[in-house]
Structure 1
Amino acid sequence: MNFSSWRKNLRFPAIDYRIALIVTVLYFTATFNWVLLRHFYSILSQMDEYDPIFAATAPFVVILALTLVFVPFSFKYVLKPALVFFIVTGAVANYAMQHYGIVFDRAMFTNFAETYPAEALSYVSGSSVMWIFLTGILPAILLIAVPLKYPKTIFAGLAQRLVILTVVLAVTGLLGAGYFKNYASVGRNNKILGKEAMPFNYVVAGIQYGKMQYKAHFIPFQKIGEDAKRQPSFGKPNLVFLVIGETARAENVALDGYKRDTSPFTRDIPGLVSFQNVSSCGTATAISVPCMFSDMTHANFDGSHAAKRENLLDIVARTGVSVFWKENDGGCKGVCDRVPNIELSPDMYPDLCNGHSCLDAAMLEDIDPEMAAMKAGDKLMVFHIIGSHGPTYYQRYPDDFRAFTPDCPRSDIENCSSEELVNSYDNSIRYTDYIISQMIAKLQSLSSDYNTSLLYVSDHGESLGENGLYLHGAPYVFAPSQQTHVPMFMWMAKRTAESKNIDTSCVSNTARNDAYSQDNLFSTVLGLFDVSTSLYQADHDILAKCETPGTHTASNNPAQPIVQ
């Protein structure tokens, strides 16, 4: 039986298209915008006093706004597809908002758009499927099944829609005349409300993302740092492991003061320094990774321009350093496109992968042959690990690393207890600590041949239910510290520090007391390789202030002896 005959057998009575329109508006208000209304009333409840009539108008304002949005789609052959689209996408977006506290803006839409399949599957759970089916797919099926009656002439239809718009605008005007100042005051002091109004939030974010992609298409590719040169190495070549973490927040790292021992493997490694106050550039990988490798800072970062612009890796490679990127987190976001790179796939290491993703221990495999394939001389190996990527934190560590139990072996983390959720997350942080310790051990074994060092920084943090927020991706201006305060470690072999005249006690002191951000990565890596370029900023190099007098790490001074 096909769908048409099934619908005929159900024999739904035909209803006026305006009824379908109004029912959808009311459904959207009650089902998908209650997060917005709940937040609105929560704000009012914290005021010393407010007009109760003003408070009562909020649902009607939402109804009026939705009507204005949906009326232009109310024509035959357009209405049903449009409403089905809004209902289904609204169900998905509402689940993310309700269960994870996600707020939709362009950055979040970018994060969604650039999510790889395996990552997307990690968000699928019984509760998410049931929610989307009951609130999205089922109402959409009912809408499709019900026949609609439309005006017999175009002019009659236009007249009807004009009446609806006139009434809506008139009522809106009356509400505005009475309470515009009230709404303006609440909105001005709580701008996040605008990012909670559905479907405006994700539709506007989608349009902004589309405009950004369109704009980026016409931006010419730009080379940067073409003056970059490197001082000659008179001793051993440099070997730097740059580890980009995923979703690690400093608050849960023992080296940064966390009450649990989530850093047992690195805690006693000589020369390892943890920087206590480090901020991320963004709250999602799609922003933070391109930003930290860009010569642009957090304050002026533009993703569209960064995508059409060389970055740190291009500059370092131009000076003769052999660069290699190893990926275990779904993609380098364009950063590694112009240097040799490899992305792990589950079939490469069956013992370390689950069919969708790989444990970070897989990153330790084949390091020796990968190094052997690189050019002789200075080497930069970048490891983009999967770290503590949620919501399936339990998949980020093997069973023998379940130090904190009971953990949360599911993707619908909002249904786990706080203890279970934190246990799973802490296990993933502890496992990352193990991975870093193994990378340092590898560098230690190579210290007779290279000046070795390691720099680790996470791309962003994570919310674990604080204030109803889960995961990450909150607008930076509203983001809690759990999403922006990230761990950063540096390890340098003793002889490496001596050869570069680095005062390690100074580094430890600044790590404890000074504030840093991912903006510091660009110049710090240039400094590690003694790269001279006008783009280098000594005040952004975390090691520059700890060089002993009379030494030099990197400079824009062309009088220095250089090699290309």
Structure 2
Amino acid sequence: MKTTPAVGSADTALGSRTIARLLDRRPLLGIEQLALLVSLFFSLASNSLFFSAATAHRHWNQPGSWLFAAAIFIAITAFQSAALMAVMNRWSAKPVLIVLLMTTAAATYYMNKYTVFFNSDMVRNVLRTDVKEAGELLSLNFCLHMLVFGVLPSILVWRLQLRRTPWRRALTIRLLSIAGALLLAVGAILLVFQDFSSLMRNQKEMRYLITPSNYLVSLARVVTADTETAGPKIPISEDAKLGAGWASRSRPMLFVLVVGETTRGDNWGMNGYARQTTPELSNLGVLNFPHVTSCGTNTEVSVPCMFSTYGRRNYDEKAIRRHESLLHIINHVGINTVWRDNQSGCKGVCDGLGQQFFDSHKDPALCDGERCLDEIMLEGMDDEIHKTKEGNLFVVLHQLGNHGPAYYRRYPSAMRVFTPTCDTADLSKCSQQQIVNTYDNGVLYTDHFLAKTIAYLKKQTNYDTAMLYLSDHGESLGEHGIFLHGMPYSIAPKEQTHVPMMMWMSQGFAHSFGVSQNCLEKHAGDAISQDNLFHTLLGMLQIKSKYYEKSLDLTAVCRAGSAA
């Protein structure tokens, strides 16, 4: 007897065969067609920030607005298509495109989420990001974004068949296609040249939103710059020597410079913030500087800059990275100089000097297996003092501070004062108030850490002691839809450039170095910047150097015998 298959089973089998046939299909394309399709994908899926910025304040009921939008869309697509055709062949096309698709998907996620501009500084910052920092940026939303905009398009590219063409004919087609794409791009720009040139001239930073061109061009610049600055640093310390005042000093000096991380001046209690985020320091009689601006908006720029002779006023990235830093001068005159790091290194400013890292320490009270709280850097300080055999010691403590977006991991539970908090690195899951609360708890912990550092210095009765704290850059916490930091300096909001700075000196230090604290208090409210750090420390420590500029020394007018 014959049996009739169930209708449902037949439908299922037919559906399975249909899906299998679809999966087996491998469209045949030429390199030129593939480059155009991928460029169209990038323009449609990866450049929403650029097109939103470029067409902002335009009225869509006017034909000119539509013409402008269409022209720049065509121009970007054509230019990037020409670039892809210039670097791809039948063997390299798929690997190149898959890498670009995955990288661009990751870039656009953070661009859209945090308003990130991929200029050279940001690319360098990304390249210096360690595994732990990168891990904190991962989330379910990121994985879903990567699946849709990275993995799936990559699978489609991988399954394509690339048309084989005799090389002479292929070369002719390629050259004509590149020429055609460039002509189309130029023609589109010429249609709206006046508006486009005005836009690029007045808002130069906008080009860092064109993806993937932004990070590719910036990466090339970073590699070129790093190649040019490789090798031994150019000395700036050769003429440096201690001033005459050192001959009459009776005790050695211990100076601690704390380089803060991602702490913004707006949320610093002593700067007049509505919340008291610096309760311990406020009771210690420290000298606070409320109007301080940073050299950059990320660590890779600010740290080398603040320790350099150039500063923001004469900013020259290559020169800064090629030359020795302030620390080399201090060490050269016989003051033992040590960099203690709880973050991502000294960015070249301590090359050749003593360095210690704490991010992998196992102290269960301060470390969670991945990161340690900043108090870990105070452990072992007695050993450093012992090594100097009662000589002069200059110590830099580089904080983990408020490094985002995982602000909730930057302080112990005892510092969870402002609630509710954002207990995730995915800031999109939290309200702005939760983010601010969590960030402020981190500032509260920095206050505690600095107070504890001062308490330690007070116990060193055999030394003249002092401490200076200066954050490297600020942070955006959702103002104007911007998060984190790293925006181009020319358009960066003040939240990313206004930083806290404070100073504490023992009576012995102030007396032996001739610094009047009462005088400094009168000038603490002046507008200053990280450019002052280099010259202020040379002046305070009475180090003579041809690079010293008295006008930038905050203590010069308040110091007996003010010449360095």
- Residue 81 to residue 44, structure 1, CA distance change in 2 (3 Å): same
Counterpart amino acid of 1:234? R
C-alpha distance after superposition, 1:534-558 (max 9, x if no partner): 22222111111112xxx22552xxx
Matches of 1:46 and 1:242, distance apart in 2: 55
CA contact (8 A) 1:536 1:554 kept: no
Q: Counterpart of 1:487? A: 500
Mapping of 1:133-212 within 5 angstroms?
A: 133-151=147-165, 153-212=166-225
- In structure 1, how many angstroms separate the alpha carbons of the residues matched to 2:186 and 2:100? 26
**In structure 1, how many angstroms separate the alpha carbons of the residues matched to 2:437 and 2:63?**
42
Give yes or no for contact 1:16–1:148 (8 Å, CA) kept in 2: yes
Equivalent position amino acid for 1:172 in 2: A
Give the match's secondary structure for 2:515. coil
* C-alpha contact (below 8 Å) 2:407/2:442 kept by paired residues: yes
Structure-2 residue corresponding to 1:559: none
2:260 to 242, 245, 252: 245
Indicate yes or no: 2:384 matched with 1:370: yes
C-alpha deviation, 1:462, in angstroms = 0.9
Label 1:380 to 1:45 Cα distance change in 2 as closer, same or farther (>3 A).
farther
Q: CA deviation at 1:165?
A: 3.1
**CA displacement at 1:275 relative to structure 2:** 0.5
Alignment equivalent of 2:407, drawn from 393, 413, 422: 393
2:543 paired residue number: 531
Distance 1:178 1:345 in 2: 55
> What do the CA deviations read for 1:495-547 (whole angstroms, capped 9, x no partner)?
432333333222112111x1111111112222222112222222111111112
Q: Structure 2 length normalisation: TM-score?
A: 0.91
- Structure 2 residue 134 is matched with structure 1 residue 125: no
1:44, distance to aligned residue in structure 2 (A)? 2.9
Among 227, 243, 250, which residue is 1:235 paired with? 250
Unpaired runs of at least 5, structure 1? 1-5, 556-564
Cα gap change, 1:454/1:39 in structure 2, threshold over 3 Å: closer, same or farther? same
The two structures, once aligned, show a CA RMSD in angstroms of 2.3
- Rounded to whole Å, the distance in 2 between the matches of 1:50 and 1:376 is 75
The counterpart of 1:515, out of the listed 523, 527, 537, is 527
C-alpha separation in 2, matches of 1:174 and 1:294:
46
The C-alpha deviation readout for 1:207-233, integer Å capped at 9, x for no partner, is: 00111111113x653221322211324
Q: Which moved more, 1:179-188 or 1:422-431?
A: 179-188
Deviation at 1:295, TM superposition (A): 2.0
Superposed counterparts of 1:203-282, under 5 Å:
203-217=216-230, 221-230=233-242, 231-270=246-285, 272-282=286-296
Q: 3-state SS of the aligned residue for 1:341?
A: strand
- Residues 135-170 of structure 1, C-alpha deviations (whole Å, 9 max, x = no match): 11221022102223233x123223333443344344
The correspondence for 1:351, drawn from 361, 365, 369, is 365
Identical columns (%): 35
8 A contact 2:513–2:542 mirrored in 1: no
1:33 aligned residue (8, 32, 47): 47
Tell me the CA shift for residue 78 of structure 1: 1.9
Deviations 1:52-80 (A, max 9, x none): 42334332222222222222244211211
Structure 2 SS opposite 1:477: helix
1:430 lines up with 2:430 in the alignment: no
Distance 1:531 1:47, change over 3 A: farther
Q: Who is 1:497 aligned against?
A: 510
For each residue in 1:351-391, what CA deviation from the matched residue of structure 2 results, as whole angstroms up to 9, or x when unmatched? Answer: 21112211012122222222222242322111111110111
Q: Which moved more, 1:113-122 or 1:55-64?
A: 55-64
Q: Aligned with 1:391: secondary structure?
A: coil
* Aligned equivalent of 1:552: 561
In structure 2, runs of 5+ residues without a counterpart are 1-18
Counterpart secondary structure, 1:13: coil
Distance 1:94 1:47 in 2: 29
Aligned length: 542
State the 1:415 CA deviation. 2.9
Are 1:100 and 1:414, in contact at CA under 8 Å, matched by a contact in 2? no
Q: Given that residues 128 and 412 in structure 1 are in contact (C-alpha distance below 8 angstroms), is that contact kept between their aligned partners in structure 2?
A: no
What residue identity is the alignment partner of 1:416?
A: C
Counterparts of 1:93 and 1:383, CA distance in 2: 32
- SS across alignment from 1:42: coil
Per-residue deviation, 1:350: 2.9
Q: Quick one: distance in 2 between partners of 1:49 and 1:466? A: 33
CA contact (8 A) 1:531 1:554 kept: no
- Name the SS for the 1:300 alignment partner: coil
Q: SS where residue 323 of structure 1 aligns? A: strand
Distance in 2 between residues matched to 1:387 and 1:203, nearest whole Å: 31
After superposition, the Cα gap between the structure-2 partners of 1:307 and 1:74, relative to the gap in structure 1 and judged at 3 Å, is: closer
Looking at structure 2, the residues matched to 403 and 48 of structure 1 have their Cα atoms a distance apart, in angstroms, of 53
Equivalent pair of 1:322/1:375 in contact (CA under 8 Å): no
2:466, 2:505 within 8 Å by CA — same for their partners in 1?
yes
User: How far apart, in 2, do the equivalents of 1:90 and 1:425 lie?
Assistant: 29
**Equivalences for residues 42-61 of structure 1 within 5 A:** 42-44=56-58, 51-61=65-75
State yes or no: 1:101 paired with 2:110.
no
1:286 matched residue in structure 2: 300
Structure 1 residues 375, 479: CA separation in 2 closer, same or farther (over 3 Å shift)? Answer: farther
C-alpha distance in 1 between matches for 2:298 and 2:136: 16
Cα distance, 1:16–1:487 mapped onto 2, change above 3 Å: same
User: Distance in 1 between the 2:479 and 2:60 partners?
Assistant: 19
Aligned residue type for 1:184: S
Structure 2: which amino acid aligns with 1:134? Answer: V
Preserved CA contact (<8 Å) 1:253 1:487: yes
1:14–1:149: 8 Å Cα contact kept in structure 2? no
Q: Is the 8 A contact 1:16 1:150 kept in 2?
A: no
AA at the equivalent of 2:239: D
Quote the residue 1:70 is aligned against: 84
| Residues 1:483 and 1:21: Cα distance change in structure 2 (over 3 Å) | same
Give 3-state SS (helix, strand or coil) of 1:57's partner: helix
Structure 1 residue aligned with 2:325, among 296, 306, 311?
311
Quick check: 1:340 aligned with 2:354?
yes
Q: Distance in 2 between matches of 1:368 and 1:416?
A: 42
Letter in structure 2 aligned against 1:508: E
Give the partner amino acid of 1:293.
Answer: F
